[in-house]
A and B are shown apart, each in its own frame.
Chain A
Amino acid sequence: MSKVLHGNDLKTFRRGGVHPDDQKLSAAVPIVTLPVPKSVKIPVLQHLGAPAKAVVQRGDKVKVGQVIARHEGAFSANIHSSVSGTIGQIKEEMDSSGFKHLAIHIRTEGDEWLETVDRSETHIEKITMSREDIITRIEDSGIVGMGGAAFPSHAKVALPEGKHIDTLLINGVECEPYLTSDHRLMLEKPKEVITGVRILMKELGVERAIIGIEDNKHDAVTLLSGLLRDDPAIEVQPLVVQYPQGGERQLIQAVLGREVPSRGLPYDVGVIVHNVGTTFAVYEAVQKNKPLIERIVTVTGKNVSKPSNFRARIGTPVMELISAAGGLPEGTGKVVAGGPMMGRAIGDLESPVWKGMSGILLIPEAEARRSQEYRCVRCGKCVEVCPMGLEPYLLMTLAKSGDIKQADHEHVIDCIECGSCSFVCPSNRPILDYIRLGKTKAKSRKS
């Protein structure tokens, strides 16, 4: 079956959205594999859920791919060593969330991998593993959502009674400005990504998959739909460029026209969403027996001399990636892990690369601070751009005044924290900061 794409095939989500400047500076830069770092620092919590429990001790020798922390309970993920060497300190350290968690330090010695890992670059298309084995392999390999939220991937297959999945959605939207790691992956490893999609289809038992890609990555749309010409089960859906289309609720609405119910999950409308990076990690885990020990990280920013896409080991200090991209530019005022709309600012350049880190954005001093705040003039722009149909100005007022009951009634919990309201507010009001506060309080009020 051939698929011809036209401009008018483009879809998008129905409500709100903003158009920040694209700034995909590293879109044409091929992925470069970084040298193995001299030492790594691997947090035991790199995912949504409970921290993994360290199963190594100081002085232990480990190989690349060896489990160093094991998941406990369903909402957790295994952590593997990304280098070979000796375990150093295992101590509590503050991570980018602002909370302290255990991190395992490893001093690198050589680069010795577990013998079970297939390190060749050859693409293995044929899927021989059974569904049950695929599920176990994804769980064992410590795979989490690599688009940023880091939801443990194996947890998505455990459906509650009565839920049925008909479509697998692959998120190749990459709607954050600057980031290009998913784009490069689709261009450089398209066959592996497609095989990953087929593995996930087998895992979920679905007959249909759709890869959603924003049209500013037209080359990826063309490449993947060309490779999928003879496969009617997997479609490529080009999308209008609009933030936050990569939010799974927005993507489901854009591609399928379905709305995930408030407080529900995608499986409530028969959909499971996986990111392109996750799909590639699933391919490597199932076909190559390679756990999640490295990922693609974009290093970018207006003053970065060589905006780059690196394949880096988990635990590599952020500073090593910055050095490889030409060094820290003079007058850098903020370093963001992730994109400019939803990424987290990090205060320490020795912070490690973690599973959910899609990019490192260096922001110049002049743009690092918020501008003067004015009073709310009730312009309604936050209401206009909110993709969830909420009223951010009102939620901010309610959260600020402590009226959590009313904020809950106004669905503060449905906020996806995309930041469109704060982005657009002409009074520079910290709308999302207060909504986050309101969300936290509304959640604790429930429990």
Chain B
Amino acid sequence: MNKPLLVVAPSPHIHADLTVPQIMRGVIIAMVPALIMSIYNFGLGAVYVTLLAVGFCVAAEYSITRYLLKREASIQDGSAVITGMLLAFNVPSNLPWYMILIGSVVAIGIAKLSFGGLGNNPFNPALVGRVFLLLSFPVAMTSWPKAVATWTLDGSTSATPLGILKDGLRTGETVDTLMKQMPSLQDLFFGLHGGSLGEMSGAALLVGLVYMLYRKIITWHIPITMIATVFIMTGIFWLIHPDKFANPIFHILSGGVMLGAIFMATDYVTSPVSHKGMIVFAVGCGVLTVLIRLFGSYPEGVSFAILIMNGFVPLINNYLKPRKYGVNHPRR
């Protein structure tokens, strides 16, 4: 009898059917509903910015790994596509192309590859790119096109609900009068208001969350905890001073809370590994967001909050370990 050639390898001999490329594809699919709402609201600008950001990010990843680091190009895992989409989601839909290019190169080149690439970057690359742009081009980064599908590339601009709130309170107006200028909560939920490209529609982002939970790509710990923290904390301030602080539903539906909690804070690489750690991390993201919104000089604080908490991840991983079986535990 011919002896067959057999593979001999240590156990386990089977593998779960969720791999890195499948996860990356899953995250991209989960972002599609938000992208569709964005195209509906902002028209061609959303398509243009998203395509440019994805293209620039993939090109940056390819050329830097291939020609500068002289190693195998690392684009097949799909992570650069996600960084590009998330960067696009975090900028206005009328941003000039060269700013998108700069943001992409900063995100991929500085925030990701200079630390060693996928898995080694301490800070969320898309957020680093976004904050770099915000500090470098403050005007362009805060001129939001009106949320009307114009199908042209130069629509008129409008402020975000959070921007209206911040400026209004600064000039001494009350929350009540300011709320009258705001889009309705339905419009906020479905995304008919000014703001960054992908943060518009809470409804579409929640569809993405449900999909990622169903595919077991992420767990509930980070997104639900972060949204709940923002809700509870703004709720407390609102109950104490309803004329100085906006209501908690307005806070979780406006700005980047949903986008940040669902797609940015859940980034595997820059979030803690244990469930305990994830909850602490998410509470931190929520608290910092609210502090910046209510007491800081910027109207919105999600990006800064997540980036600051990214910096705490190694510490959290070190101190919030899962409870080990049979260690420091009563014997009976």
Within 8 Å of chain A (Cβ to Cβ): is B9?
A: yes
A contact face: mostly helix, strand, loop, or mixed = loop
B324 adjacent to A411 (CB under 8 Å): yes
The stretch from A74-82, A227-235, A289-297, A427-435 touching chain B is A427-435
Do the beta carbons of A370 and B4 come within 8 Å of each other?
no
Tell me, yes or no, whether A240 is within 8 Å of chain B by CB.
no
- Within 1-55 of B, Cβ neighbours of A (below 8 Å) are at 3-4, 6-16, 18-23
Identity of the chain B residue whose Cβ is nearest the Cβ of A417 in the assembled complex: B11
Q: For B3, B13, B278, which residue has the most chain A Cβ atoms within 10 angstroms?
A: B13
Tell me whether B19 and A428 are in contact (CB under 8 A): yes
Say what secondary structure dominates the interface of chain B.
Answer: loop
Task: Tell me the total A-B contact number using a CB cutoff of 8 A.
Answer: 169
B71 at the interface (CB under 8 A from A): no
Whether, in the assembled complex, A423 has its beta carbon less than 8 Å from a beta carbon of chain B, the answer is yes
What's the least CB distance linking A307 to chain B, in Å? 16
Give the one of A379, A388, A389 with max B CB within 10 A: A379
> Would you give the shortest CB distance from B212 to chain A, in whole angstroms?
12
Asked whether, in the complex, the Cβ of B11 is within 8 Å of the Cβ of A347, the reply is no
Q: How far is the CA of A391 from the CA of B272 in the complex (A)?
A: 12
Pair B13/A363 contact, Cβ less than 8 Å? yes
Q: Are B7 and A262 in contact (CB under 8 A)?
A: no
Q: Are A343 and B13 in contact (CB under 8 A)?
A: yes
Please tell me which stretch of A100-108, A186-194, A328-336 contacts chain B, meaning at least 4 of its Cβ atoms lie within 8 angstroms of it: A328-336
* Chain A min CB distance to B71 (Å): 12
- Kindly state whether residue A195 has any CB partner on chain B within 8 Å: no
Measured CB to CB, the nearest residue on chain A to B324 is A389
Q: In the complex, A340→B14 CA distance in Å?
A: 6
A171 within 8 A of B: no
A349 neighbours in B (Cβ, 8 Å): 3-4, 6
Inter-subunit contact B322/A261 (CB<8 Å):
no
Residue contact B15 to A423, C-beta cutoff 8 Å: yes
B317 to A: closest C-beta gap in Å? 8
Asked if B7 and A369 make an inter-chain contact with CB atoms under 8 angstroms apart, the answer reads yes
Contact of A262 with B327 in the complex, beta carbons under 8 Å = yes
Q: Which chain A residues lie closer than 8 Å to B97 at the CB level?
A: none
Inter-chain contact A20/B11, CB cutoff 8 Å: no
Given A377-B20, A379-B268, does the pair A384, B275 have CB atoms closer than 8 Å? yes
Complex Cα gap A345–B12 (Å): 10
- With an 8 A cutoff between CB atoms, is B331 at the interface? yes
With a cutoff of 8 Å between Cβ atoms, the chain A residues found around residue B271 in the complex are 378
Q: Which residues of B contact A386 (CB under 8 A)?
A: 322
Closest A residue by C-beta to B18:
A426
CB contacts (< 8 Å) of A367 on chain B: these are: 14
Q: Is A159 an interface residue (CB 8 A)?
A: no
Give the Cβ gap from A336 to chain B, nearest Cβ, in Å: 5
A378 with B324, Cβ < 8 A, contacts A334-B13, A363-B13, A426-B23 known: no
- CB-CB contacts of B319-332 with A at 8 A, as 1s and 0s? 00111111101011
B273 at the interface (CB under 8 A from A): yes
Stretch at the interface among A47-55, A109-117, A252-260: A252-260
Residues of chain B in range 184-212 having any CB-CB distance to chain A below 8 Å: none
Asked if B326 and A20 make an inter-chain contact with CB atoms under 8 angstroms apart, the answer reads: no
A378–B325 touching, CB < 8 Å: no
Contact among A336, A338, A414 for B325, CB-based, below 8 A: A414
Nearest Cβ on chain A to B180's Cβ, whole angstroms: 45
| CB contact under 8 A between A259 and B11, given known A335-B6, A349-B3, A391-B321 | no
A423 and B14 contact, CB distance less than 8 A: yes
CB-defined contacts of B14 to chain A, threshold 8 Å: 20-21, 177, 340-341, 367, 423
Q: In the assembly, what is the distance between CA of A214 and CA of B47, in Å?
A: 52
Contact A375 B9 (CB under 8 A): no
Please name all residues of chain B whose beta carbon is closer than 8 Å to the beta carbon of A432 when the two chains form the complex: 10-12
Interface string of B63-79 (1 = CB under 8 A from A): 00000000000000100
Nearest A residue (CB) for B318: A394
B168 CB to closest chain A CB (Å) equals 42
* Known contacts A378-B268, A390-B324; A424 and B6 CB within 8 A of each other: no
Q: Give the nearest-CB partner of A20 in chain B.
A: B14
**B269 at the A/B interface (Cβ < 8 Å)?**
yes
Least Cβ–Cβ distance between A143 and chain B, in angstroms: 25
Check A56 for interface membership: any CB of B closer than 8 A: no
User: Which residues on A sit within 8 Å (CB–CB) of B8?
Assistant: 334, 345-347
Assuming the contacts A249-B326, A258-B332, A414-B324, asked whether A361 and B13 have C-beta atoms less than 8 A apart, the reply is yes
Partner of A345, one of B7, B23, B119, B272: B7
Q: A386 vs B324: C-alpha distance in the bound complex, in angstroms?
A: 9
A20 touches B325 (CB 8 A): no
How distant is the Cα of A259 from the Cα of B326 in the complex, in angstroms? 5
Contact B324 A262 (CB under 8 A): yes
Q: B121 CB to closest chain A CB, in angstroms?
A: 10
Whether, in the assembled complex, B219 has its beta carbon less than 8 Å from a beta carbon of chain A, the answer is yes
* Contact present for B4 and A332 (CB under 8 Å): yes
- Tell me the A1-42 residues at the B interface (CB within 8 Å): 15, 18, 20-21
Q: How far is the CA of A20 from the CA of B15 in the complex (A)?
A: 8
Residue in chain A with minimal CB distance to B216: A381
Q: How far is the CA of A368 from the CA of B9 in the complex (A)?
A: 9
Q: Is B274 an interface residue (CB 8 A)?
A: yes
A371: Cβ under 8 A from any B Cβ: yes
Are A15 and B326 neighbours in the complex by a CB distance under 8 Å?
A: no
What is the chain B residue whose CB lies nearest that of A264?
B326
Q: How far is the CA of A377 from the CA of B16 in the complex (A)?
A: 16
Residues from chain B with a CB closer than 8 A to the CB of A378 are: 119, 268-269, 271, 273
> Quick one: which of B7, B23, B322, B327 has the most chain A CB within 10 A?
B7
Contact A340 B13 (CB under 8 A): yes
Q: How far is the CA of A414 from the CA of B10 in the complex (A)?
A: 19
Residues of B within 8 A of A334 (CB): 6-9, 13
Complexed CA–CA distance, A334 and B326 (Å): 36
Q: Which chain B residue has the least Cβ–Cβ distance from A261?
A: B326
Question: Nearest chain A CB to B85's CB is how many angstroms away?
Answer: 17
Residues A385-407 near B (CB distance < 8 A): 386-391, 393
- Give A217 to B290 CA distance when docked, in angstroms: 52
Q: Does A215 reach chain B (CB closer than 8 Å)?
A: no
Asked if A65 is at the interface of the complex by the 8 Å CB criterion, the answer is no
A384 CA to B331 CA in the complex, in Å?
A: 24
Q: Which residue of A lies closest to B16 (CB)?
A: A424
Chain B residues lying within 8 Å of A422, measured Cβ to Cβ, are 12, 15
* B118 lies within 8 A of chain A by Cβ: yes
In the bound complex, residues from chain A placing their C-beta under 8 Å from that of B6 are: 332-335, 345-347, 349, 368
Q: In the complex, given contacts A268-B331, A423-B16, what are 9 additional A-B residue pairs having Cβ atoms less than 8 angstroms apart? A: A262-B324, A338-B11, A346-B8, A361-B13, A375-B118, A377-B268, A389-B324, A390-B324, A432-B11
Show 26 A/B contacts (Cβ-Cβ < 8 Å), sorted by A: A15-B322, A249-B325, A260-B326, A264-B326, A335-B6, A341-B13, A343-B11, A345-B13, A346-B6, A347-B8, A370-B9, A375-B117, A375-B118, A378-B269, A379-B23, A380-B268, A380-B272, A386-B322, A389-B321, A389-B325, A423-B14, A423-B15, A424-B18, A426-B18, A426-B20, A428-B15
B→A interface (CB under 8 Å):
3-4, 6-16, 18-23, 77, 117-120, 219, 268-269, 271-275, 278, 321-327, 329, 331-332
